[in-house]
Amino acid sequence: MLVADKKKNYQKTKDQNQLEQIQYVVFDLGVEEYGIDIDLAKEIIKPGKITPVPNTEDYVSGVINLRGQIIPVVDLYKRFKMEREQDKQKARIIIVEIRDTLIGLLVDRVKEIIWLDKEKIEDPPEIAGGIKQEFLEGVGTLNDHILIIVDLDKTLFGDDSN
Amino acid sequence: MDRDSQYLQMFLDESFEYIQQLNENILELENNPENKEIINSVFRAAHSLKGMAATMGFDSLTKLTHKIENLLDKVRNNKLKVTEDLVDNLFAGFDLIKALVENIKEDGKEDTEIEDYIQALDNISEKDISEADSPKEEPNSRNNQIHIAREDYREVIDNIKETDIIYNISVQLKTDSMLQSVRAFMVLKKAEELGYLVKSSPSRQQIEEEEEITGNIYMILISQMEAENIKNELKDIIDVLDVQIETIEKSELEKDAPDNTQPVNKKSINVSPTVRVDINKLDKLMNMVGELLINKTRLDGLDVDLEIYQDIIQQLDRVTMELHHVVMQIRMVPISGIFNRFPRMVRDLSRDLGKKINVKIRGADTELDRSIIDELADPLVHILRNAVDHGIETPSERKKQGKDATGEILLKAYQKGSEIIIEIADDGAGIDADRIAQLAVERDLVTQEQIMSMDKKEKLNFIFDPGFSTTEQITDVSGRGVGMDVVKSVVKKLDGQVKIDSTPGKGTKFTISLPLTLAITQALMIEVNDESFAIPLNAVSETLTLSPEDIKQVRGQDVIILRDSTIPLISASERLNYGDRVKTYKNRNEISVVIVKSGEKEIGIIVDKLLNQQEIVIKPLGKYLVETRYISGATIVGDGDVALILDVRNIA
């Protein structure tokens, strides 16, 4: 099928079924795949030197210099209290803009950008990939595997009572 | 920006300035009702506003300012007395003007209703005029009769040469002329050719705006020509019926001219031309200078053994320093911009509360970085509101205490070293430190035991705690202490400090100290745990290298004795949670210490290494990390890495 046709087709389905689709940036943390709303993502960079900031939560890796701007970097591994086991070469920082602030998310690897029907997203189970439910927006199915959709606002600004 | 919006912006900026000026002047007038200077200044501001509004085509604003101008004109001509009522009315009018200008700023429309007010104004005008004992005058002549206002004298005197003569000229035009305004224009134009036209009635602007020209044209002209020649030249213009000309004695003017040094007049003469610049452009310029500095520092760090390289570096150093200095200067604005709003605010608040308060302002021309000024307004408002609401007592209460019935709030700003100090002092009821401490205990902010060892200042400081103020009842004006946490957090964000001192029955004083500028500063670079940190130089009094035996112990605390004073030592590594609880620094042969001052207190911060001194561009850590303890910001160092700035004031 030609791209144009595809588009038309997509448009048609969208109109007919009023399916709402959301675009996600898919990244790896360990063996699981995670997604965040692409509207929040500004850019993806290779990590350079991250300056640690004392007296912050342990999941704050530090700050980086992004073209003259100081940006905090949150290590999602640590935020989700997971064991790190990745190969550092492929690590990336996804710069997101949330609550008018730029924040970097340190992840293993950025894989792809996908569309997902909103109705294919289910409420999060108690635990997904070992992460507490409160940090998750939902779980979607992508071909044959599961995509865990992260609620960034809660992840970054939520109360860390544990 | 297109032309229209450019003019609109200018209009808005200038309007707000005039509104501010009107408010200030009327407050002054209330205290000195007989001062003609002030009345004239008010009148001119209102007149300028009207002219601007008319030019921009804002009808309601024009109408409103016109009415107010008329009212002021009556005050000027002694037909109306300055009473509290009148002042209230004028303030109400200025608020309407402000509301209209704000409407215009928002959506370009004048949404605020003004008819009721205009009706009210018409009423007082009529009532008071009939009461006022004004001399009856010939109709028509009064309005057009030119008189040189005192502020014009100075202009005349400054422009006059030895051989010049000052003429007062009256030109009568044919009344049935079809082209009255054209003829009037020709008269003015001719007069301008003949000499220096100081003033005319109607003015050139009025004529150009094709206002109806009736009656004679009056002019004040400075010229070297003979009176007779001027008369003839003017008579040659078509439709001119008659020209009256008389000379004014110079000495007469000099006698009455206002003194140049008087502050009221300071705006008018010998000011360099200025331009208005969008603040965002200045911010951008500042950022660019910052980038330049960072790169200069990087160049500096290169190890190039060439004479010419050293030369260039030195030149570059000089130019960037100067550039930085100039940009800083541009960004500095006097604190009067916010101070001058307060007398009006306090007046309104105190009247609502039935209190009498006199606001004194000192050091209003102290300059601060624009970005600091903008942030500062809110905290000051909170402090002042508290002073009015809870500080100053009612007149009867004050008399009972043996105080003057009128309370006083003193707003003071001054520079001290590289800091700006702002003091807000009232002579009101004061705050009982023990009661504050008790409330803090009730709110679980502190335990009863902890309070025992606290001094007055520490107890008073609880009013800055967010947990302290939010639970309080909010009255109309302000809850007791409400907003004090805002004060603290804003001041902290600006890298400043706020202190409170209070004596029950005597009053309360807040002292805010702020850095002169936020953007660029000199810093001492140090190393802790292999990371570089910057300490703003204005906090550093000296650096020392100690040997372990220099360190003494006082009640379990490591100290050093420096010039007879005992200075406690604090390990940066411990404060920054790098784990130095076992005081490993004692194992070193040389211990590097930075002595910092915070208020009256001095402490020594133990660091791993002293690096160098350099200029740093201060950048905020951002909202996400804003509350980080002991870190006040970050900067980018030579190699592009980030170095954190130590918040030494809070470490101390």
Is pLDDT above 50 for B134? no
- Give the pLDDT confidence score for residue A74 in this predicted structure: 93
- Residue A72 in domain: yes
Cβ separation B576–A55 shorter than 8 A: yes
Query: How large is the average pLDDT for residues B130-146?
Result: 42
Band (B465; pLDDT cuts 50, 70, 90): confident
- Give the pLDDT confidence score for residue B264 in this predicted structure: 40
- Give the pLDDT confidence score for residue B497 in this predicted structure: 83
- Give the pLDDT confidence score for residue B412 in this predicted structure: 93
Is pLDDT above 70 for A11? no
What is the residue range of A17's domain?
2-157
Band (B151; pLDDT cuts 50, 70, 90): low
Cβ separation B620–A70 shorter than 8 A: yes
From the CB of residue B557, how many other CB atoms can be counted at a distance below 10 Å?
11
| Integer Cα distance of B464 and B421 in angstroms | 19
The answer to which of B31-40, B313-322, B451-460, B548-557 has the lowest mean pLDDT is B31-40
Query: Looking at the partner chain, which of A56, A64, A99 has a beta carbon nearest the beta carbon of B625?
Result: A56
Q: CA of A48: which chain B residue's CA is closest?
A: B641
Question: Which residues does B contribute to its contact with A (CB < 8 Å)?
Answer: 287, 290-291, 531, 575-578, 619-625, 628-631, 633-634, 636, 640-644
Q: Give the residue numbers of B marked as catalytic.
A: 47, 69, 386
Task: Give the gap in angstroms from C-alpha A135 to the nearest C-alpha of chain B.
Answer: 17
- Residue A9 in domain: yes
List the single best residue of B628, B641, B642 to mutate versus A (max A Cβ within 10 A).
Answer: B642
| Integer Cα distance of B474 and B31 in angstroms | 33
| Integer Cα distance of B443 and B440 in angstroms | 5
Distances (CA, A) of B75 to B78, B81, B289, B344: 5, 6, 52, 21
Is pLDDT above 50 for B466? yes
- Give the pLDDT confidence score for residue B142 in this predicted structure: 39
Encode pLDDT of A91-127 as tens digits: 899 999 988 889 999 998 888 888 888 777 888 777 6
Tokens 């005992």, residue located: B566
Q: What percent of chain B has pLDDT over 90?
A: 7
Of the candidates B469, B496, B335, the residue with the CA atom closest to the CA atom of residue B390? B469
**Higher-scoring residue by pLDDT: B168, B511:** B511
- Residue A57 in domain: yes
* CATH number where A90 lies: 2.40.50.180
From the CB of residue B325, how many other CB atoms can be counted at a distance below 10 Å?
12
> Is B144:B216 a contact under the CB 8 Å cutoff?
yes
- Give the pLDDT confidence score for residue B180 in this predicted structure: 73
| Integer Cα distance of B508 and B491 in angstroms | 18
Of the candidates B365, B452, B477, the residue with the CA atom closest to the CA atom of residue B411? B365
Pinpoint the alpha helices (H) of B164-278.
180-194, 204-208, 227-235, 250-256
- Give the pLDDT confidence score for residue B89 in this predicted structure: 82
- Pairing type for strands B240-248 and B507-515 reads unpaired
Residues of B in contact with A56 (CB under 8 A): 625, 628
- Give the pLDDT confidence score for residue B213 in this predicted structure: 66
| Integer Cα distance of A69 and A71 in angstroms | 6
Q: What percent of chain A has pLDDT over 90?
A: 20
Query: How large is the average pLDDT for residues B640-651?
Result: 84
Encode pLDDT of B567-586 as tens digits: 998 888 888 877 655 567 77
Is pLDDT above 90 for B422? yes
Residue B322 amino acid letter: E
Q: Which residues contact B58 (CB under 8 A, 6 or more apart)?
A: B100, B104, B110
| Integer Cα distance of B230 and B36 in angstroms | 33
Is pLDDT above 60 for A13? no
Of the candidates B483, B515, B481, B521, the residue with the CA atom closest to the CA atom of residue B497? B515
Encode pLDDT of B332-350 as tens digits: 888 888 888 888 889 888 8
Of the candidates A45, A55, A91, the residue with the CA atom closest to the CA atom of residue B531? A55
> Is B596:B605 a contact under the CB 8 Å cutoff?
yes
Task: Give the gap in angstroms from C-alpha B576 to the nearest C-alpha of chain A.
Answer: 5
Cβ separation A70–B622 shorter than 8 A: yes
Cβ separation A72–B625 shorter than 8 A: yes
H or E segment at B357?
strand B357-362
- Residue A162 in domain: no
Encode pLDDT of A52-81 as tens digits: 998 888 889 999 988 778 899 999 888 887
Task: Give the gap in angstroms from C-alpha A49 to the nearest C-alpha of chain B.
Answer: 7
Inter-axis angle of helices B370-386 and B279-301, nearest 10: 120
Residue B478's φ and ψ, nearest 5 degrees, are: -170, 145
Cβ separation B625–A71 shorter than 8 A: no
Q: Each residue of B537-554: b (16+ CB within 10 Å) or e?
A: bbbbeebeebeeeebeee
First to last CA, chain B: 49
Inter-axis angle of helices B115-131 and B59-76, nearest 10: 20
Band (B1; pLDDT cuts 50, 70, 90): very low
Task: Give the gap in angstroms from C-alpha A59 to the nearest C-alpha of chain B.
Answer: 12
Encode pLDDT of B32-75 as tens digits: 777 777 887 888 788 778 877 877 778 888 888 888 888 887 88
Query: Looking at the partner chain, which of B630, B640, B642 has a beta carbon nearest the beta carbon of A70?
Result: B642
> Is B387:B484 a contact under the CB 8 Å cutoff?
no
Q: Which residues contact B253 (CB under 8 A, 6 or more apart)?
A: B148, B153, B156, B157, B166
- Give the pLDDT confidence score for residue B6 in this predicted structure: 66
Query: Looking at the partner chain, which of A53, A71, A103 has a beta carbon nearest the beta carbon of B628?
Result: A53
Query: Looking at the partner chain, which of A52, A60, A102 has a beta carbon nearest the beta carbon of B531?
Result: A52
List the single best residue of A45, A49, A50, A55 to mutate versus B (max B Cβ within 10 A).
Answer: A55
Residues of A in contact with B623 (CB under 8 A): 99-101
- Give the pLDDT confidence score for residue B71 in this predicted structure: 80
| Residues present in chain A in total | 162
Is pLDDT above 60 for B104? yes
> Is B117:B92 a contact under the CB 8 Å cutoff?
yes
Residue B549, token pair as written in the block: 């035996």
Residues of A in contact with B642 (CB under 8 A): 49, 51, 62-65, 70
- Give the pLDDT confidence score for residue B65 in this predicted structure: 84
Cβ separation B643–A156 shorter than 8 A: no
Task: Give the gap in angstroms from C-alpha B619 to the nearest C-alpha of chain A.
Answer: 7
Task: Give the gap in angstroms from C-alpha B511 to the nearest C-alpha of chain A.
Answer: 28
Residue B198, token pair as written in the block: 């100081």
- Residue A7 in domain: yes
- Pairing type for strands B497-503 and B407-416 reads unpaired
Query: How large is the average pLDDT for residues B130-159?
Result: 50
List the single best residue of B297, B624, B644 to mutate versus A (max A Cβ within 10 A).
Answer: B624
- Give the pLDDT confidence score for residue B479 in this predicted structure: 43
Percentage helix, strand, coil for chain A under 3-state DSSP, each rounded to 5: 20, 50, 30
- Residue A97 in domain: yes
Q: In what order do the strands lie in the sheet with A121-122?
A: A109-117, A21-29, A32-37, A145-150, A136-142, A121-122
Of the candidates B276, B169, B306, B147, the residue with the CA atom closest to the CA atom of residue B228? B169
Residue A100 amino acid letter: D
> Is B647:B572 a contact under the CB 8 Å cutoff?
no
Query: Looking at the partner chain, which of B578, B642, B643 has a beta carbon nearest the beta carbon of A54?
Result: B578
The angle subtended at Cα A154 by Cα A148 and Cα A160, nearest 5°, is: 110
Residues of A in contact with B620 (CB under 8 A): 70
Residue B651's φ and ψ, nearest 5 degrees, are: -65, -35
Cβ separation B625–A53 shorter than 8 A: yes
- What is the 8-class DSSP label of residue A51? B
- Domains held by chain A: number: 1
